[in-house]
Structure 1
Amino acid sequence: MTRTAVIAGQGALAPAVIAALDDPLVYALDGFAPNLPAIPFRLERLIPFLDDLVEKGVGRVVFAGAIRRPRLDPELFDPRTAQLVPRILTAMQSGDDAALREVLKVFQEHDLTIASVEEIIPDLIPAEGVLTGQPEDADRRDAAKGASILQGLGAFDIGQGIVVAQGLCLAIETLPGTRAMLEFAAAHGGLKPNPNGARGVFYKAPKPGQDRRVDLPTLGPDSVTQAAEAGLAGIAWQAGGVILLERDEAVRRAEAAGMFLWARGE
């Protein structure tokens, strides 16, 4: 029987994926171990790691959770993995997404299928619709502006989130992540032209051209709390392109804060 391996990152997504699978093998990139039992591996020994997966009968791999680009130790490369370095470095010149796609190709060259979170738990990715609350016309305009800006930034491989208020961009998600972006937006909320006008929208979407089998943007209850602390009217995201963890709790917190949650159609 073909087995499934989970490459587990940090956050709540990996435990949800693992719970939905029948006896998966769980691995984690060394230095990015999640708070659950996982076998560590290093990118410097990627080929021996893939050989081991195949020997254990793994035919499908799921990436779940957050990781960052690791620091590589040249002394730890085995000869076969070392041959991949020029290939990966060339891809990295186009950004992290391109490098990740190249790594996925290496998995596939070992006859390993990359499965998306949507295949495992489709209910985690909401279809178009308002989950709670009701965005006003100004909020809809701010969400559309956010979507347009993220689309334009896609080629620069910057981030997957943005805060727009009254048509103005207050913050863009970069390497420090969502929490840092929302804290920045909260600190600069006074820059909005009309203090009594639209409070602003946190919008999230995959990068254009992103491989949706891995690294989809993720929202959850903590995202709602952080957006509420930033004084925003609600959270909108690209329908069918964003993972929503613990939906019931996220909705509960949004309702308590008087915020909307909206899976926005394109």
Structure 2
Amino acid sequence: MSRTAIIAGQGVLPGLLAEALDNPAVYAVEGFAPGIPARSFRYERLVPLLDQLAADGIGRVVFAGAVRRPRLDPEAFDPRTAALVPRVAAAMGRGDDALLRELIAIFEEWDLTVVGAEAIRPDLIAAAGVLAGSPSAADRADAARAAEILSVTGPLDIGQGCVVAGGLCLAIETLPGTAPMLDFVARTRAERRGGVLFKAPKPGQDRRIDLPAIGPETITQASAAGLSGIAWAAGGVLVLDGAAMVAAAEKAGLFLWARD
């Protein structure tokens, strides 16, 4: 039976997936150590990595963890990877979602089956319902407004989260991610408290890669930003360490709501 490889970035997700797999192979982008043992690789040598996966008996691949677009060294490319640069560069110009779709396509050309994290850990996807606290009518209205905003910005490949308070959008997630967005809210909002962080996949995105995620650290950041709670699209967001999240939310007085 073929093995599964985790193409890992930073954060706890690679480790959570590794725990659920029998003898996984873990490969990490150089500079983005996942916190578990992993072989490092560079984007400039993507084709040698693909050849190595085949040599290691890998049949299935899952992408997990956070990475940023690195600075590429033109002198580090091997000839076969260099041949892929035009198609990858064209995809980058169309946004992150297009780039990730192109990456999946390249892996599939090596007869590798790409799966999402939820295929390995379906328990990380929360069903619809309130996990902690109790969102008020105002909170529910803010979540609905946030979902409406993301339905417009998502197709533009802008982000997977936003913060709404009193019907007003305080921030939209962009390339830096959720933590910088919440830090911006914490530093710039007025004394008024309340509001909701809402996260959802981009409409039509390939859910095998870059599915939005929340974890215990999101609770800390949302609390520091003075928010009332966190809501997300049920079935579309990875909930990392749900028990710890619920405990942290109850301690901080925040609600957690998987919105249907």
TM range (shorter): over 0.9
One-letter amino acid matched to 1:53: L
CA distance in 2, matches of 1:238, 1:16: 21
The equivalent of 2:234 in structure 1 is 239
- Name the SS of the counterpart of 1:240 in structure 2: coil
The equivalent of 2:50 in structure 1 is 50
- Name the SS of the counterpart of 2:190 in structure 1: helix
Shift of residue 176, structure 1, vs aligned partner: 2.5
Residue segments in structure 1 that go unaligned for 5+ positions in a row: none
CA distance in 1, matches of 2:160, 2:45: 30
Select 2:214's aligned residue among 197, 202, 219: 219
CA distance in 2, matches of 1:216, 1:32: 18
The equivalent of 1:79 in structure 2 is 79
The equivalent of 2:248 in structure 1 is 253
Question: Counterparts of 1:127-142 in structure 2 under 5 Å?
Answer: 127-142=127-142
For residues 96-136 of structure 1, give each alpha carbon's deviation from its aligned partner in whole angstroms, at most 9, with x where no partner exists.
11011101101001000001111101010101111111111
Query: Are 1:170 and 1:188, in contact at CA under 8 Å, matched by a contact in 2?
Result: no
CA RMSD in angstroms comes to: 1.3
Query: Are 1:150 and 1:207, in contact at CA under 8 Å, matched by a contact in 2?
Result: yes
The equivalent of 1:122 in structure 2 is 122
For residues 130-159 of structure 1, give each alpha carbon's deviation from its aligned partner in whole angstroms, at most 9, with x where no partner exists.
111111111111001111111111133222
One-letter amino acid matched to 1:238: A
CA distance in 1, matches of 2:184, 2:152: 21
CA distance in 1, matches of 2:200, 2:104: 21
Work out the number of aligned pairs and report it.
260
Identity of aligned residues (%): 62
**Is residue 13 of structure 2 the alignment partner of residue 3 of structure 1?**
no
CA distance in 1, matches of 2:174, 2:30: 23
Runs (4+) of structure 1 moved beyond 3 Å?
A: none
Shift of residue 164, structure 1, vs aligned partner: 0.1
Question: Counterparts of 1:139-158 in structure 2 under 5 Å?
Answer: 139-158=139-158
TM-score normalised to the size of structure 2? 0.96
- Name the SS of the counterpart of 1:203 in structure 2: strand
Question: Counterparts of 1:69-108 in structure 2 under 5 Å?
Answer: 69-108=69-108
Segment drifting more, 19-28 vs 39-48: 39-48
TM-score normalised to the size of structure 1? 0.94
CA distance in 2, matches of 1:136, 1:148: 18
One-letter amino acid matched to 1:161: G
